[in-house]
Amino acid sequence: MLKSSMTKNNQLWFELNPDQKAIIASLKDYLKNEVAPGAIERDKSSEFPRKIVNELGAMGIMGMQVPEQYGGSNLDTKTMALIIEEISTVDGSLALTVASHNSLCTGHILLAANDDLKAKYLPDLASAKKLGAWGLTETVSGSDAAALKTKAEEKSDHFLINGSKAFITQGTVAGTYLITARTDASDRSLASGISAFIVDGDSEGLIRGIPENKLGLHSSDTTPLSFENLKVPKENLVGERGKAFVDVMKVLNGGRIGIGAMGIGLGRGALEIAAKYALEREQFGKPLVKNQAIAFKIAEMATELEAARLLVFKAAALKDAGRDYTEAAAMAKLKGSVAGVQANDYAIQIMGGNGYMVDYEVERMWRDNRLTRIGEGTDEIQHLIIAREYLKQFS
């Protein structure tokens, strides 16, 4: 017998359940009162919002997918994506801080660390007592992550790390770092020889660089790191020696869901501002929205963002079901970032000269969103992943 796709309470799969509605409603109030008022000034000053991050930690947002036994909220991936999207509508820098902390450093520990390491590090990460940073990218290995040069040499009771990392989010403000380094000879066909380590922020030999001067996301901390004879206890090895690259790819898959949601949120924030503007602004004796060219832009923005959101929900559902979500995550990230940046660009166009001005915020949203087409894998890398995964069915 055929069954309806509805649940008993007639809730469709893409709709929010009561718990999600309550979480987002509470978050909206907090963002409106505590985050939005200072977003423009933080963009100008590049001040990291430590107080806000601490408050998000108290709300359970900095440990969204950490199990309750470690002080986390144990939320599903769809709810995490909804939270990241909502934060993004107000402050892209804060959204990137939340997304990277949860998906990358904390996510890698959740995925591959043993129980002792989880018990030692996850509680402080979940509460935001310590922020997490994830060190993969190097100046010689961006999209080609397996080409990293940082080395970890095994000694009697520790590893000695030497090398450097680039573009590290939370680079100067983190207290816990997840660093990848080469421990063994490389077999490029298997991307072997790479290991992962947890590094304490006060470790001797961990050198934080000067924060980068960026196009956008100014109050998100982005910094190079270098390691000079950095000693890491052997027990801080995460996962199997020489096999971390597989875990890295899984972590990036999860991170892509968050970046897709971030792209959607920044695009949605700009859409909402532009739509209100078009309803109120009059030209040639009528509201802008009565101009078909403007109305069609709003229609396209809304449609593309909604399509991207459904892809994010699909990837989240597959991830939580324990099924392969590599292709779905790449699609969600690609669609979310491209649709979001396009929405930001259209919003500026709809608002004309005012859209180019700082006080209307859509220009900041555009600058912030442009990173989503690069971070967690460029558009080009997502295309390669999607093509590879799609073509598997024919081979």
Say if residue 2's pLDDT is above 50.
no
Q: Which CATH architecture has domain 246-394?
A: Up-down Bundle (1.20)
Give pTM, 2 decimals.
0.95
Say if residue 5's pLDDT is above 80.
no
The CATH number assigned to the domain with range 18-127 reads: 1.10.540.10
Question: What was the pLDDT predicted at 313?
Answer: 98
Say if residue 7's pLDDT is above 60.
no
The answer to whether the beta carbons of residues 297 and 350 sit under 8 Å apart is yes
Say if residue 131's pLDDT is above 50.
yes
Backbone φ and ψ for 198, nearest 5 degrees, come out as -90, 130
pLDDT tens digits, one per residue of 98-121: 999 999 999 999 999 999 999 999
Say if residue 370's pLDDT is above 50.
yes
Half-sphere exposure (Cβ direction) of 119: Cα atoms closer than 13 Å: 3
Question: What was the pLDDT predicted at 300?
Answer: 98
Backbone φ and ψ for 260, nearest 5 degrees, come out as -60, -45
pLDDT tens digits, one per residue of 302-317: 999 999 999 999 999 9
The CATH number assigned to the domain with range 132-243 reads: 2.40.110.10
Question: What was the pLDDT predicted at 9?
Answer: 67
135-149, 232-246, 252-266: lowest mean pLDDT where? Answer: 135-149
Distance (Å, whole) CA 227 – CA 379 = 30
pLDDT tens digits, one per residue of 160-183: 999 999 999 999 999 999 999 999
Is the Cα dihedral 88, 129, 377, 248 positive or negative?
negative
Question: What was the pLDDT predicted at 187?
Answer: 66
DSSP 244-277: HHHHHHHHHHHHHHHHHHHHHHHHHHHHHHHHHH
Q: What is the mean pLDDT of residues 43-68?
A: 98
Q: What is the mean pLDDT of residues 49-53?
A: 98
Q: Which residue in this structure is represented by tokens 């990230």?
A: 333
pLDDT tens digits, one per residue of 253-275: 999 999 999 999 999 999 999 99
Question: What was the pLDDT predicted at 118?
Answer: 98
Say if residue 6's pLDDT is above 60.
no
What is the helix (H) or strand (E) element at residue 208, kind and residue range? strand 206-208
Distance (Å, whole) CA 121 – CA 132 = 10
Cβ contacts of 392 within 8 Å, gap of 6 or more: none
**Across the strands, what pairs with 380?**
none
Instruction: Pull the structure tokens for residue 143.
Output: 């999209």
Q: Percent of the chain scored above 90 by pLDDT?
A: 93
Instruction: Pull the structure tokens for residue 226.
Output: 């270098």
Q: pLDDT confidence of 142, banded at 50, 70, 90? A: confident
| CA distances for 377 relative to 136, 143, 319, 384, angstroms | 12, 7, 18, 10
Cβ contacts of 199 within 8 Å, gap of 6 or more: 161, 176, 177, 178, 179, 206, 230, 232, 236
What is the helix (H) or strand (E) element at residue 350, kind and residue range? helix 326-351
Say if residue 336's pLDDT is above 70.
yes
Is 376 a catalytic site residue?
A: yes
Question: What was the pLDDT predicted at 368?
Answer: 98
Say if residue 190's pLDDT is above 90.
no
Distance (Å, whole) CA 205 – CA 224 = 14
Q: What is the C-alpha R_g of the chain?
A: 21
169-182 in b/e burial notation, b at 16+ Cβ within 10 A?
A: bbbbbbbbbbbbbb
Say if residue 147's pLDDT is above 60.
yes
Residues in the chain: 395
Say if residue 3's pLDDT is above 60.
no
| CA distances for 176 relative to 57, 171, 292, 349, angstroms | 15, 10, 52, 42
What is the helix (H) or strand (E) element at residue 134, kind and residue range? strand 132-135
109-114 contact pairs (CB < 8 A, 24+): 109/178, 109/198, 109/238, 110/65, 110/66, 111/239, 111/247, 111/250, 111/251, 112/196, 112/238, 112/239, 112/244, 112/247, 113/198, 113/238, 113/239
Out of 47, 240, 376, 389, pick the active-site residue: 376
Measured between its terminal Cα atoms, the distance across the chain in Å is: 35
Say if residue 231's pLDDT is above 90.
yes
Question: What was the pLDDT predicted at 317?
Answer: 97
The answer to whether the beta carbons of residues 91 and 30 sit under 8 Å apart is no
Say if residue 159's pLDDT is above 50.
yes
Mean pLDDT rounded to a whole number for the chain: 95
Distance (Å, whole) CA 152 – CA 154 = 6
pLDDT tens digits, one per residue of 8-35: 567 898 999 999 999 999 999 999 999 9
Q: Percent of the chain scored above 70 by pLDDT?
A: 97
Say if residue 192's pLDDT is above 90.
no
Q: Which residue in this structure is represented by tokens 């956008």?
A: 216
